[in-house]
Structure 1
Amino acid sequence: MDRKNYNRIKAAMAEKRVSQKYLAEKLGVTVGTVSTWCRNFKQPEVPTLFQIADVLNVEAASLLTAKQNLESL
């Protein structure tokens, strides 16, 4: 796996079957904002990262670590 293009938010969303639109609505941001996070163009601020973890029902650390196996989500 190419770590440079690996995105833990995108992977967690896929694992939880959550769309960018759903996450955007829950966070009160635009779909474009979520898209920039998923494409590694920008990263969310730390408080937003905790909100993302809450919406996806995952540990915030799982969105920060280099762990590639997301089976524990």
Structure 2
Amino acid sequence: MKIKPLNRIKAVLAEENKTNKWLAEILGKNVTTVSRWCTNENQPALETLIEIAKALNIDVRELIASTNTVTIVKSIDK
């Protein structure tokens, strides 16, 4: 069973044309640590997510993957 991503750090970095290395330098973290966040192997603390959002000048909610899934069912009348 595949684990669903809990954060969108990798996607947001790509959208902002930023790299893991850039984020690691801004936060004073190891590049390996940031890489693990980006692959959802590990999760940053809430305080760190807030720091990431500030560095990227975005709302922290943009870093969190939605757990809501919407299924649309179309009924076909015969």
Q: What is the TM-score when the length of structure 1 is the normalising length?
A: 0.80
Consecutive aligned runs of 4 or more in structure 1 exceeding 6 Å deviation:
none
Q: Which runs of 5+ in 1 are unaligned?
A: 68-73
Cα deviation, 1:11-67, whole Å, max 9, x if unaligned, reads 000000001100000000010000000111100000000000011111001112418
d(CA) in 1 for partners of 2:43 and 2:13? Answer: 15
Mapped pair 1:15 → 2:15: yes
Show the counterpart of 1:24: 24
**Structure 2 runs not aligned, ≥5 long:** 68-78
C-alpha distance in structure 2 between counterparts of 1:13 and 1:31, whole Å: 14
Q: Alignment partner of 2:41: what SS?
A: coil
Q: How many residues align?
A: 66
Q: Counterpart of 1:44 in structure 2: which amino acid?
A: P
| Most deviating of 58-67 and 30-39 | 58-67
Structure whose CA Rg is larger: 2
Instruction: After superposing the two structures, state which structure 1 stretch, 41-50 or 4-13, moved more.
Output: 4-13
Structure 1 or 2: larger helix share?
Answer: 1
For residue 35 of structure 2, what is the aligned residue in structure 1?
Answer: 35
CA contact (8 A) 2:36 2:42 kept: yes
